[in-house]
Amino acid sequence: MHDVARLARVSVSTVSYVLTGTRPISDATRARVLEAMATLDYQPNAMARGLATRRSRIVGLLMPMSERGFGATETAFVTGAAAAASDAGYHLVLSPIGAGDLDDLRRLASQRMVDGVALMEVQVDDGRVTALQELGVPLVLIGRTSDTTDMSYVDIDFDQTVREAVDHLVGLGHQKIVYVNHSAATIAAGYGPALRTRDSFVAAMAGYGLEPVMIPADDSAAGGRAALAEALGKAPDLTAVLAMNENAIFGILAELSVRGRRVPHDVSVVSMVTSPAVAELAHPALTAMTSPGAALGRLAVEALLRQLDGTGAQHQQLLPCALEVRGSTCPVARPKNELTGTGLPGG
């Protein structure tokens, strides 16, 4: 920095202000400093700066690697978060710390390896949130606990998302709709999206005077097959399936095919909280409630960085998924006697 200052004919503090942006510097002076840096091939030492400022310029994204694995939809959250961190001159570190890994979480926080964290896969009662608050770690949730008082979060608007999915199917004439959720273990553990979509589905169906049928499914193709078999046992006349389980959706489609149920002519299928990459893999391509994952990842990190800079108030924001109609939904098929007029009174 002394060499840069000498070549640019400015003070060392001016070089520091150009690097950190902590004070306004004229365009002409900034240009001289940057030219001197380029001439000397000067690169700031991030570790040294971190020691001096007590900031690592690293933020953590805590995302447990569950049985669902890491697919295209999860990747969108990470890429959005990483882009926001990079734009602000930060690095993003992904850490698979789950709700039961509190010792690892406390170790991460106590070593000051990150300046703050964004937390994913949030449970309605999540011990990680309490632990981070007690440790004084700046925190933003991608998801919500049951009590969001004094919490900053971004999340999917599950009420609107489920309502629009049910509206789409009912608008096509479907009344026998089955919802395939995440696994029973995931629901029992209090995973927020699984609980909120369950409740939203019940409310949306009740709004139409229809009976809600929900089936839990393990997060695998085999789980999807088993869930579809169970669904047909409970509602043999089902005409539509709404699913929020990307790993199970292909098993659902396969089981429908094995049982001679054509998609969408016999059974319409909507995949919920899904990336376009996954929806386009299916045949036919899936009508989906597309996840705003990249936007949520970016919003969470931007809110976190405002906390770190002391410029951000509490941030709470919901984004709905967007309905994208593809080839897996169509109007419900009418019984043959309605098509031919046979067997009807007065026919």
pLDDT, greater one: 215 or 51: 215
The predicted pLDDT at position 310 comes to: 84
- What is the average pLDDT value for the chain, to the nearest integer? 89
H or E element that contains 68:
none
Can you tell me the mean pLDDT for 242-251? Answer: 93
Can you tell me the mean pLDDT for 299-320? Answer: 92
The predicted pLDDT at position 335 comes to: 62
Q: Is the pLDDT of residue 347 over 70?
A: no
Q: Is the pLDDT of residue 338 over 50?
A: no
pLDDT band of 341, cuts 50, 70, 90? very low
Can you tell me the mean pLDDT for 206-232? Answer: 96
pLDDT, greater one: 199 or 22: 199
pLDDT band of 21, cuts 50, 70, 90? low
Task: Please write the tens of the pLDDT for every residue from 93-146.
Answer: 988 887 778 888 888 777 778 899 999 999 999 999 999 998 889 999 999 999
The predicted pLDDT at position 48 comes to: 55
The predicted pLDDT at position 339 comes to: 44
Can you tell me the mean pLDDT for 141-158? Answer: 95
Can you tell me the mean pLDDT for 37-51? Answer: 70
